[in-house]
Amino acid sequence: MDTRLQQYEDRMKKTVEFLESDYAAIRAGRANPHVLDKLRVNYYGTPTPIQQVGNVTVPEARIIQIAPWEKSLLKEIEKAIMTSDIGINPTNDGNVIRLVFPELTEERRKDLVKDVKKKAEESKVAVRNIRRDGNDSFKKLAKTEVSEDEIKQLEDQLQKLTDRFIKDIDALMETKSKEIMTV
């Protein structure tokens, strides 16, 4: 692959990876520890991911259990979960914190699918913007040392990259939508 295309492919790849991490945080009726990925707990003055201050397990399909390594962190973890946008109240028994995920209603599932589609559309726009940036930079090359044919070839390769990443985004969206709608 042409080195001039590599930076655009890397940026498109990062866009898809960001979408995947966004999708991991959307809960689909069953407990997924990734919903905690963006939460931080104050651990000796440092915002620290919950996964680094305790053991996060999924003992049942709709329950996440967090067993902190230090009991003093129970309140901090509870506070972080309650102030987040997860929408689940934690239960604290003095040793572990449990998050019980309720069954999603049909309406809530449809809202989540809309959200999934919106995020996919935003990612497609980002990929197309990267393509536009690439095409602009190739046109600037035309003023210097590169022939028209080379520019056309670079633009065609960039379009193929764009098509590939948009197809990946569509596949991710379909998979996540099916996962959410499956009861």
Last residue of a domain, one of 100, 124, 143: 100
- Rounded Cα distance between 29 and 27, Å, is 6
pLDDT of residue 87 exceeding 80: no
Determine the average pLDDT of the residues in 10-30.
Answer: 85
At 160-169, the pLDDT tens digits run 999 999 999 9
Mean local confidence (pLDDT), 1-21: 89
**N- to C-terminal Cα separation, the chain:** 44
pLDDT (0 to 100) of residue 123: 95
Calpha distance 71→27 (Å, rounded): 27
- Give the global pTM: 0.71
Q: 56 with 77: CB under 8 angstroms?
A: no
Q: Of 100, 116, 140, which closes a domain?
A: 100
Residue 62: predicted pLDDT: 82
112-158 pLDDT tens trace:
899 999 999 999 999 999 999 999 988 888 777 778 888 889 899 99
Which CATH number goes with the domain that contains 18?
A: 1.10.132.20
One domain for residues 67 and 128 = no
